[in-house]
Structure 1
Amino acid sequence: MRIENFIIACLIDYLQSKYEKCYAFAKAQLTQLLFYNDQLYFLYFKPMTKAEKISDFYSKPSPWKTGIADLRKLVLDAGLKEDWKWSFPTYTYKGKNVVGIASFQNHFGLWFFQGALLTDKKKQLRNAQEGKTKAMRHLIYTSYEELNPTIALKFIDEAIENAKQGKKVQSTPTQSKVVLPIMLKNALLNDAQLQLNFDALSSSKQREYGMYINEAKQEATKQRRLEKCIPLILNGKGLNDTYR
């Protein structure tokens, strides 16, 4: 056997063993073996296009195959454009993410990117991470019989209308707690005027001082930084006011 043919045989055996449970996928991905001057030139896997990923998502065996197909028809009939993002089919309106379709082991459903704005008097939408997720809401089905096209379409239509109007859940930036180094705390305790001026600074400026001192690795460097900060604080200035 020629060496290149032997290599090919080994590669094919490897692929068949590695993708024993999904060999169709491996076969579809393996596009060609190229030879140059009787030598094995290269073997490559062609990346799947978005269309191929979407097709694979809806065609692969799944207990929710019929359900996700029905949801797909609903969102496409509603006029949304089909895309592939975050490993799931995503449906957009003029580039804005409106809804996604997901399928897991125990459930399937619709993922509304601005779901917090939807009218949900019966509390059918879920927040996957209470206290963390601001906008996204999920409409989950644990059986095909739970899927009510009328209810799903109501949410889809409202989500599209919100996208047309440019409605979005406004994120509120959270400020981290001001953590002061021990030596700065001691300096503030020992100087009432320093404490008074420091308290008058905004939280962001207090945070800048704390971070500036804390970032130093050695105690001597921290002490020098503290000595630099004290006159600025007494003058009611922030660490970076000079550059603003």
Structure 2
Amino acid sequence: MNQVTSTNPKVDAMLQRTTSWGDEFALLRSIALNCGLTEELKWGQPCYSDDGKNIVLIHGFKEYCAVLFFKGALLKDPKGILVMQTENVQSARQVRFTSLAQIKRQRAALNAYLLEAIEVERAGLKVAFRETAEFALPEEFQARLAQLPALRSAFEALTPGRQRAYLLHFAGAKQSTTRASRVENCIPLILDGIGLNDR
């Protein structure tokens, strides 16, 4: 298993443009490639897959950089290092780093988590997602669904994942006026059968 796979020129170019977390990304990349994963650039970030299935993504934020395990919820996490990015994330988990030294200290654990994540994917394990019906339907959206039967039909025709994305987007606004504005902005997309993240 521990064979280095080749780097991807698109990721090379992306990393050359990176102004923060460059050294950290380089080490995280090396760890992923040493596990025999295939490197790609997806969503503008280095992504590592096994037999076409996404395993991890490396991404950076202002305060930290992270390795995101797509099915992190299924990992055992004996070191207690997996973080749920937000309360609504069901499958993915991050391991966050604030320095190169921290990555070096946790390298063995990270390598073990990567190998476990590969095995989880190869075993065909699936995360049990909450049903769309379990997500809150904001009253601003309920009102528009009642007024526009075509909107209700279009929304119900969307995949469960697209429905959840819209519901989370609407509910994420604290003020009613903002929720109503989000609903109005998304109505044309829903009527066209387009998911929030498809644009």
User: Please, what TM-score do these two structures have when normalized by structure 1?
Assistant: 0.50
The number of residue pairs the alignment matches comes to 137
Q: Give CA deviations for 1:63-86 in whole Å, capped at 9, x if unaligned.
A: 422221111111111111111111
When residues 77 and 121 of structure 1 are mapped into structure 2, their CA distance, relative to the original with a 3 A threshold, is closer
Residue 167 (str. 1) matches residue 110 (str. 2): no
3-state SS in 2 of match to 1:133: coil
3-state SS in 1 of match to 2:40: strand
**One-letter code aligned to 2:77:** D
For 1:212 and 1:136, locate their aligned partners in 2 and report how far apart those are by CA, in whole Å: 31
Residue 70 (str. 1) matches residue 3 (str. 2): no
Alignment of 1:1-244 (within 5 A): 51-130=8-87, 132-147=88-103, 148-175=106-133, 214-215=147-148
Structure 2: tracts of 5 or more residues without a match: 1-7, 150-199
Is the 2:10–2:40 contact (alpha carbons within 8 Å) kept by the matching residues of 1?
A: no
**One-letter code aligned to 1:94:** D
**One-letter code aligned to 2:22:** K
Let me know the Cα RMSD of the aligned residues: 2.9
Q: Max radius of gyration: which structure?
A: 1
When residues 54 and 120 of structure 1 are mapped into structure 2, their CA distance, relative to the original with a 3 A threshold, is same
Aligned structure 1 segments of 4 or more residues deviating by more than 4 angstroms: 176-179, 210-214
When residues 52 and 78 of structure 1 are mapped into structure 2, their CA distance, relative to the original with a 3 A threshold, is closer
For 2:48 and 2:9, locate their aligned partners in 1 and report how far apart those are by CA, in whole Å: 16
User: Please, what TM-score do these two structures have when normalized by structure 2?
Assistant: 0.60
**Structure 1 position 154, deviation (Å):** 1.0
Percent identity reads 29
**Structure 1 position 144, deviation (Å):** 1.4
